[in-house]
Amino acid sequence: MGVKAVLFDLDGTLLKNDRNRMGDEYIKLVYNRFPDTISPEKFEKAMYAAFMAMTKNDGRKINKQVFIETFFPLIDYPADEGMQIFDYVHKHDLPSLEREEEKVPEAKRVVEKVFDLGYQVVIATNPIFPKDVMFERLKWAGVDKFPFKLVTSFENCKFAKPNPQYYKQITDRIDIKPEQCLMIGDEHMDMVAAHVGIRTFFVKSPSSDLRDSTPKPTYRGKLEDIINILEK
């Protein structure tokens, strides 16, 4: 099939996690470490404004910088001190959000088999969180020990899903043509990889939201079905 690299989404694909639940719980977790002079409503609105700003990033700045420039002015808090709080939360508090029921039993086996077959492997999860968050959540999925070619995060991306340029950035970074890549995910924002020439594999999850405008997936099936396709 000419594929050299396999890109995996995380939420709804390697984890059964609902990305909206994760976002809400993450915001509350971080807020608990900030001064209570900031109202929870103001903090939440600022976080979602920063998430939206990264989603709309036009590529002139890395997502981390967009986050900092959007979020901290909205809560009127020093960025340097604030980022230290985020770092503390990621190291000490974030593990509390792990949910045993959100594990995908076959995730580790599937990822391991893709490596064994000789493919380059990328974790193409929406890069609106820091790398510490991404790797902690890869641990929850049981796949944190693999030598991924790239794990996208807000430190290394200038675009975010569902912007097709996010996927073009990945293929440029790993130096593999889009048509030689396969994106595996459960949502519209994963299937739009087709707009830059990447083949797609749709894995249905409770939060799947394919739309009329969603490019038709190249393949559909369960996560483990990807092995048969790649072996052929």
Averaged pLDDT, 141-147: 97
Q: Ramachandran region of residue 71, left (φ > 0), alpha (ψ -120 to 50) or beta? A: alpha
pLDDT at 209 over 90: no
Percent of the chain surpassing pLDDT 70: 99
Distance between CA atoms of residues 35 and 24, nearest Å: 19
Percent of the chain surpassing pLDDT 90: 94
Between residues 35 and 209, the one the model is more confident about = 35
Among 181, 191, 194, 105, which Cα is nearest to 150's?
A: 181
Q: How high does pLDDT run on average in the chain?
A: 96
pLDDT for the residue numbered 217 = 97
Length of the chain: 232
pLDDT for the residue numbered 117 = 97
Averaged pLDDT, 175-202: 98
pLDDT for the residue numbered 1 = 59
pLDDT at 48 over 90: yes
pLDDT for the residue numbered 107 = 98
pLDDT for the residue numbered 167 = 98
pTM confidence score: 0.96
pLDDT for the residue numbered 207 = 84
pLDDT at 19 over 80: no
pLDDT at 64 over 70: yes
pLDDT for the residue numbered 29 = 97
Taking only the tens place, the pLDDT of each residue in 23-47 is 899 999 999 999 999 999 999 999 9
The residues, any chain, with a CB within 8 Å of residue 100's CB and separated by 6 or more, are: none
Taking only the tens place, the pLDDT of each residue in 101-133 is 999 999 999 999 999 999 999 999 999 999 999
The residues, any chain, with a CB within 8 Å of residue 61's CB and separated by 6 or more, are: 69, 158
Among 136, 133, 135, 114, which Cα is nearest to 183's?
A: 114
Q: What residue has token string 């990033």? A: 57
